[in-house]
Amino acid sequence: MDRIEADLWRFNVAKVTFVDVTEDYTTMLDPLPSVCYPVVREVWLPRYRLAQMLTAGQCLEGYLYDWHEPPDEDSSGDPHWYVGVVSESVLQLRKE
């Protein structure tokens, strides 16, 4: 019987780290590198149409989508995306 030796799940899912970039909106400073922001949540999501799902903004309750950073094409290992999100409550205060 033939057997597949590779970890095929690596081609189907990606690690997504949601980081809170709300401070950029309150301080109006230049953005930091994505690893410098506080992590809100880390999840594994299907890679199929991941960018479209993230920009639709339906990934995290109480936060709104701001930007995403896909993994480098040359990176080895598990694909790791960073997604910047902004607290919905802070944006509501700025509107009023």
pLDDT at 79: 80
Cα separation, 43 vs 12, whole angstroms: 14
Report the DSSP beta bridge partners of residue 89: none
pLDDT at 37: 93
**46-95 confidence digits (pLDDT tens):** 888 888 888 876 678 888 888 888 887 655 667 888 999 988 887 665 55
Residues 57, 88: contact at Cβ < 8 Å? no
Residue with tokens 């799940």: 9
In the chain, where does DSSP find H-type helix? 22-27, 50-55, 88-95
